[in-house]
Amino acid sequence: MSEPMKPRDPDWEVKVRDSFARQSLMQTIGAKIAALTPGTCEIALPYRRDLCQQHGFLHAGITTTIADSAAGYAAFSLMPPGASVLTVEFKVNFMAPAKGERFLARGSVVRSGRALIIVETEVVAQDKGAETPIAEMLATMMCLENTPDRPED
């Protein structure tokens, strides 16, 4: 996205980071938010041998996991107070083996409608200072109004 997007919730950043912290899977795999702006979210994941497929590369499901969370939080950052985010669907193309020391999923909102938000996420592998694109996701997220992300809110 060229121009910066406008959040509708002044607390968007606290809200996103709090929600991310409650995604138990992110801690299980060791993923962290690396960058966050209204309409974009970047998630970083160091390589771990126990998250792999049969050849020792990161499993496509884990590449997808960080791409989905990056897409979801890019979308959530633009939502009004009291709303929560839902993944409707996504499509992922895998472009190269997920081989590297660290993986970065960069989600960025392509179009933000009232109910549906379209997000693109690129995943890259970082290795010895170089960066290789390994996957590309195109996702549809839904904004559920009046359905707080923290049920107790």
Give the binding range for a second copy (CB under 8 A) out of 1-9, 34-42, 52-60, 123-131: 52-60
Give the binding range for a second copy (CB under 8 A) out of 3-11, 34-42, 55-63, 123-131: 55-63
With binding defined as CB under 8 A, does residue 116 bind a second copy? yes
Minimum distance, C-beta of residue 26 to a second copy, in the bound complex (Å): 8
Residue 1 to residue 23: CA distance in whole angstroms: 26
Stretch (H or E) spanning 89: strand 84-94
With binding defined as CB under 8 A, does residue 34 bind a second copy? no
Contact 79, 9 (CB under 8 A): yes
With binding defined as CB under 8 A, does residue 4 bind a second copy? no
What's the longest Cα–Cα distance across the chain? 46
Instruction: Fill in the DSSP letter of residue 52.
Output: B
The tokens 């590297």 sit on which residue?
A: 100
CA angle 31, 84, 134 (to 5 degrees): 35
Q: Which residues bind a second copy (CB under 8 A)?
A: 19-20, 22-25, 27-28, 49-55, 59-62, 64-69, 84, 86-96, 110-111, 113, 115-116, 118, 120, 133, 136, 138, 140, 142, 149, 151
